């Protein structure tokens, strides 16, 4: 990460996690977090959580929802949406952002539309959604890159944000818990470690993972 790109002002890009649901998995509560990137050129939302219950999700996770549109959250203020991947708990709020660009890897979009039991397809293809299907790495905004990170799904991507000397990475489910970054196994997990992030934000842990720190697991 030697060619770090300076932004207009130091610290101008910030990342804020927002809890949009709690899942109940094997007796544990697992949050679902989405992340807002405030950038001088626009406001980016990474993943959209869920806004309604669906029998398939209820059966698997008994979720409690805190939908973005029912929180003190400015839905209209989001300029760009990114889906790290299209599992149901990451795209269930996409319908709130009809008409705005939603960036996803093309492989992920194809798989979500084609494979059985991959996601809730009507959430992926809610009316009037405008997907921008990406092939590989792109710069979304100055200092904000989308990078493919296969592992959790073949079409997963992470968002690399230049917030300081080292980047922050918004990982989606590339790692579901901290141990998967402590001992990376998938291509995506190795990529995140190779980026040497200051913080790695996971979708299902409230606090960010930091390298070299004894990280507490996120369950509570």
Residues that bind Zn ion (CB under 5 A): 87, 173
The residue among 87 and 199 lying less far from Zn ion, judged by its C-beta, is 87
Kindly state the smallest distance separating residue 152's Cβ from Zn ion, in Å: 6
For Zn ion, the closer CB: 162 or 173? 173
What does DSSP say about strands 42-46 and 80-82: parallel, antiparallel, or unpaired?
parallel
Minimal CB distance to Zn ion: which residue?
A: 87
Cβ proximity to Zn ion: between 152 and 199 the closer is 152
Give the β-pairing of 138-141 and 130-134. Answer: unpaired
Q: What share of the chain is helix, strand, coil (3-state, %, to 5)?
A: 20, 30, 50
Q: Which bin fits 36, alpha (ψ -120 to 50), beta or left (φ > 0)?
A: beta
C-beta of 98: minimal distance to Zn ion in Å? 23
| Shortest spacing between CB 85 and Zn ion, in angstroms | 6
Nearest distance in Å: CB 32, Zn ion: 10
Alpha carbon distance 23, 149 (integer Å): 24
Q: Minimum distance between the CB of residue 92 and Zn ion, rounded to whole angstroms?
A: 12
In the block, which residue shows the tokens 């660009």? 101
Pairing of strands 101-105, 42-46: unpaired
Distance, CA of 90 to CA of 159 (rounded, Å): 14
Looking at the chain, list the stretches that DSSP marks H as alpha helix, in order from N- to C-terminal side. Answer: 55-61, 88-91, 106-114, 121-124, 179-182, 187-194
């Amino acid at each position: 990460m030697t060619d770090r790109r300076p932004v207009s002002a130091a610290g101008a890009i910030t990342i804020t996690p927002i809890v949009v649901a709690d899942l109940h998995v094997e007796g544990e509560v697992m949050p679902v977090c989405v992340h807002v990137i405030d950038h001088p050129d626009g406001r980016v939302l990474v993943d959209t959580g869920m806004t309604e219950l669906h029998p398939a999700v209820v059966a698997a996770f008994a979720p409690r929802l805190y939908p973005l549109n029912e929180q003190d959250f400015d839905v209209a203020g989001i300029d760009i949406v990114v889906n790290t991947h299209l599992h149901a708990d990451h795209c269930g709020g996409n319908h709130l952002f009809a008409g705005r660009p939603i960036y996803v890897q093309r492989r992920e979009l194809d798989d979500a539309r084609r494979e059985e039991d991959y996601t809730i397809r009507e959430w992926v293809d809610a009316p009037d959604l405008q997907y921008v299907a990406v092939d590989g790495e792109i710069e979304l905004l100055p200092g904000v890159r989308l990078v493919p990170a296969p592992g959790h799904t073949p079409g997963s991507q992470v968002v690399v944000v230049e917030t300081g000397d080292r980047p922050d990475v918004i990982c989606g489910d590339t790692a579901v818990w901290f141990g998967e970054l402590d001992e990376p196994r998938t291509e995506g997990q190795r990529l995140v470690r190779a980026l040497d992030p200051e913080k790695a934000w996971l979708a299902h842990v409230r606090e960010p993972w930091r390298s070299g720190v004894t990280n507490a697991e996120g369950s509570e």
